[in-house]
Structure 1
Amino acid sequence: MLISMRTEVISISLFYSLKKTLKKGQTRIFYDLDPEYSSVAVTCVGKKGASFDEVEGMDMGRDQVRAAVAKGVQQLQEIGETEVDVDPCGDPEAAAEGGHLGLFVYQELKAEKSRKAHVNLDCFTKYSSEKDKVLSQWSRGRVLADGQNFARHLMEMPANKLPPRNFVDLVNTRLTSTKRCSVTVRDREWIESQNMGSFLSVAKGSVEEPFLLEVDYRGDNPVNKNPLALVGKGITFDTGGISLKPPADMDKMRADMGGAACVAGTMLALGNLNIPLHVKAFIPLCENMVDGRSTKPGDVVTAMNGKTIQVDNTDAEGRLILADALLYAQTFNPDLLLDMATLTGAIDVALGAGATGVYTNSLKMWESLHKAGSITGDRVWRMPLFDHYTKQITKSDLADINNIGTGGRSGGSCTAAAFLREFVSNKQWMHLDIAGVMMNKAEIPYLNKGMAGRPTRTIIEFLQLQSQK
């Protein structure tokens, strides 16, 4: 059982003793305090009354709860506890998020004896006067965490275990189980029929077949007539192509489908929450590999709308598959177009793991997304979509546009967004460059080291806000 510093279960003397010695995030484990529980983890939540911080741009109180609960359940997992009751700490939703996110670990390929214990979490409501309300909030937090953990699971899977076909099968199984999502799988023949030459130019260097996964979600009584469209970059492994990446850390490119994973996690949560919206998701899937058929630097390819692209760097491949996916998504006249992609190392240089970079042509949508990030603690930060960057990618010797532009390394995330903008006519578009938040080292205390699945919960919260307008 996990008990926070705010609980009434601990005796007064113990409370004051711990208050003098424990600092925020510190945990102590006690045994035989209660006949019902073999062990009790006591974690210091932090400063009482913490709330929204304008400088940090998020609700610090909620984030303190997430971090404290995560630390407590992790400590109990380490000593082999498998059934844990969690004090809701005054915020059942945040407590559920912290607990379930903190326990995630990808270990299915390890020997049984090397795996951490699987822990079942329940909400401790023995002394609650509003049990139903607390459990409802707890349930929502669990669904939000499960959506992010599904994205993390996909991102962690080795590329040989999750080529495009396996991604399609796994996501199809999980999403259709919610009974509110339908999945359509588009194969190479269909992709060719749509003249998606930009997408196919990336896929042709691999023996793995490309797919475009189309997901349709309809909640009960959706408030929007036209769908909201989500697009996720699905490069299941990225070698860089002919413009080969350095070998160091290339294994991390198994998560270059992070945008696709976060879209899948979002759709899973939508299906389980039954948010009253109509949402369509589009996930282009392929590998970026090297062989005699691979696109060569200087080649020119043609996108679905007839626009020609000079490919001067084959490692700038994510924008090529997104171009056709964005064009196809817009044939459904969506009220909103939102794409997510581990697109550039440049956004990691600019923002690190502190926030997802956002490019948008809609102030209204940006304000709503920013609010969602302040609630979830998984923050976003607006980046410039200036004509200054558009001019750099529309200068091309051989084609209409160039896939890396004339700016060199300067403003690389900005020029990538400017490239995508050339394929967007929707008046409410947001591009999220999530490369900087792809992994967690130690930045987020309630996420273990590894792939982060960010910003899945923020997108879910954003869609919830849209359903209330």
Structure 2
Amino acid sequence: MLPMRRAILTAVRTKHCRFFSASQSNWNARKGLVLGVYEKEGEDGSHLTEAAARWDKALSGKLSELLKISGPALKKGRTRIFYGVHQDFPCVAAVGLGKTTASVCGAENWDTCKENIREAVSAGCRQLQDLEVSHVEVDGCGDAQSAAEGAVLGLFQYDELKSKKKTKVTAQLHGSTDLAGWEKGILYGEGQNLARLLMEAPANHITPTVFADTIEEKLAPYAERVTVHKRPQAWIEEHQMGAFLSVSKGSEEPPVFLELHYNGCPDRTKAPLLLVGKGITFDSGGISLKPSSGMDAMRADMGGAATVCASIVTAAALKLPINIIGLAPLCENMPSGKANKPGDVVRAQNGKTIQVDNTDAEGRLILADALCYAHTFKPSAIVNAATLTGAMDVALGSAATGVFTNSDWLWEKLYTASVVTGDRVWRMPLFQHYTRQVTDSQLADLNNIGKYSRSGGACTAAAFLREFVTVTHWAHLDIAGVMTNKDEIPYLRKGMSGRPTRTLVEFAAGLAHQG
């Protein structure tokens, strides 16, 4: 006991406590280990995961002793760093997993155990990254997929354009046989990170053309199962997508209608799942110009397209046995002499006319044509995702994606997927009350804003989209509230969130495996 106590030179009991051994001066900080620790039920103490217990036993209880003498029980989401504990791992992060009894929580609508693992592993990996550790082995903590997601999501940071970058860290599974779960979690995390990368990049770096090229490049390894069509303006005009064209014409950047076909099911007679994503690569508001404060965040107004496309990339990587078609109308919404003017009337592909009373309500215009086109594939279901309304952020904040759907079956599938991923959804109303507000238009069949524009904005936007839907199973995901992360999701850094990519992937996987 005494030599071990002398090895503890510093103990700072904060959220991230670090404990330095006397050998730290000779420490090579290039390799680290993350181990999980549970709180003991009903008492002050710790309970090690299976992998951590095996490692502790091999060290004659050294880890347990260090945890005991270094402070109170390690709480959920907190970390302690130990140096010089093992020659193979000069740096070890013990991470708090909370209580062993954590499970699916009806009040929170997620699996608390999975969320605790993601949070803890993310915290441990970040601490080691800050110490410039370049390789980390991660305890699977009884759920290797969640551990992998925590590691991959927690380590991501958009620093592509900075001279000084974060240490690049590779993570691998430690002390578990669930390699399949780990690899699945890696792909889920990388999918969300792809969406984050696209959303975070400046609008002059991710134009409609560059967006489409990037997705095509990401899908290239799966060319035997994927077809990519980058439809140019001439094709859009030929298909009479007047609503989409009316938004794009204000910009010097040419529009692109990105169409992805993933054929994972050998039975080509099965109706495909249709995913549609809003792809405004920069939204100035057009003539109805947005306030300058915070306008830079509108580089992520293509979050719907980013999450949809990233989910298809992930589905291809997972080889999901399902056919998916992805559609992403891509353009900028800019003010110019060619831009939509308030009061203009445009015609969608299905012939309906739309009075554009607010040019900043442009997302529903481009989605209207995409939804019309989606029906030509006779899909089993259509799910569209869009950073559509600030009203959605007001209603739910960043807690959950708002879902508007005409199908109880589809809602249940999306909800079940979100409980697994922890990236929650919440059902919103599609009352005729809202439909009447968008069909009461002075000059056209529809108005692109509700009759009472400040009331129920997310609901009237959804009602507008429903006017272009005839399938039995359709859902609109308004992701405006979950577009960014400040500190709400512990395993995501501040910035664009890439949500709800993992929920879309889990949803598609659920459909694929139900036969």
TM-score interval, smaller chain: over 0.9
Aligned position for 2:152 = 100
Superposition pairs of residues 171-190 of structure 1, within 5 angstroms: 171-179=215-223, 180-190=225-235
- Report the Cα offset of residue 264 of structure 1: 1.2
The one-letter code sitting in structure 2 at the alignment partner of 1:78 is: D
Structure 1 unmatched ranges of 5 or more: none
Among 357, 370, 374, the residue aligned to 2:402: 357
Matched, 1:14 2:48: no
The one-letter code sitting in structure 2 at the alignment partner of 1:71 is: A
Aligned position for 1:216 = 261
CA distance in 1, matches of 2:475, 2:288: 28
CA distance in 2, matches of 1:389, 1:59: 34
Aligned position for 1:346 = 391
Among 85, 93, 100, the residue aligned to 1:41: 93
CA distance in 2, matches of 1:17, 1:413: 53
- Report the Cα offset of residue 221 of structure 1: 3.2
2:450/2:457 contact within 8 Å kept: no
CA distance in 1, matches of 2:269, 2:505: 16
CA distance in 2, matches of 1:138, 1:223: 31
CA distance in 1, matches of 2:508, 2:350: 29
- Report the Cα offset of residue 16 of structure 1: 3.8
Aligned position for 1:57 = 109
Cα distance, 1:95–1:223 mapped onto 2, change above 3 Å: farther
CA distance in 2, matches of 1:462, 1:19: 42
The one-letter code sitting in structure 2 at the alignment partner of 1:200 is: L
The one-letter code sitting in structure 1 at the alignment partner of 2:449 is: I
CA distance in 1, matches of 2:349, 2:166: 47
Matched, 1:135 2:179: yes
CA distance in 2, matches of 1:18, 1:275: 46
Aligned position for 2:26 = none
Superposition pairs of residues 15-414 of structure 1, within 5 angstroms: 15-17=67-69, 20-111=72-163, 114-125=164-175, 128=176, 131=177, 134-179=178-223, 180-221=225-266, 225-414=270-459
Normalising by the residue count of structure 1, what TM-score does the alignment of the two structures yield? 0.97
1:223/1:467 contact within 8 Å kept: no
Helix, strand or coil for the counterpart of 1:251? helix
- Report the Cα offset of residue 176 of structure 1: 2.2
1:65/1:98 contact within 8 Å kept: yes
Aligned position for 2:16 = none
The one-letter code sitting in structure 2 at the alignment partner of 1:2 is: V
Helix, strand or coil for the counterpart of 1:453? coil
Q: What count of residue pairs does the alignment treat as equivalent?
A: 461
- Report the Cα offset of residue 181 of structure 1: 1.8
- Report the Cα offset of residue 268 of structure 1: 0.8
The one-letter code sitting in structure 2 at the alignment partner of 1:362 is: S
CA distance in 2, matches of 1:217, 1:108: 29
Cα distance, 1:227–1:34 mapped onto 2, change above 3 Å: same
The one-letter code sitting in structure 1 at the alignment partner of 2:404 is: Y
Helix, strand or coil for the counterpart of 1:4? strand
Identity %: 54
Matched, 1:418 2:418: no
Among 434, 448, 451, the residue aligned to 2:479: 434
Among 31, 35, 47, the residue aligned to 1:3: 35
- Report the Cα offset of residue 405 of structure 1: 2.1
Deviations 1:194-214 (A, max 9, x none): 110000000000000001000
1:389/1:418 contact within 8 Å kept: yes
CA distance in 1, matches of 2:436, 2:364: 17
CA distance in 1, matches of 2:303, 2:267: 28
Aligned position for 2:15 = none
- Report the Cα offset of residue 427 of structure 1: 0.6
CA distance in 2, matches of 1:65, 1:257: 30
2:85/2:91 contact within 8 Å kept: yes
Deviations 1:435-465 (A, max 9, x none): 0000000000000000000000001101111
CA distance in 1, matches of 2:291, 2:65: 58
- Report the Cα offset of residue 20 of structure 1: 2.8
- For the pair shown, the structure with the greater C-alpha radius of gyration is 2
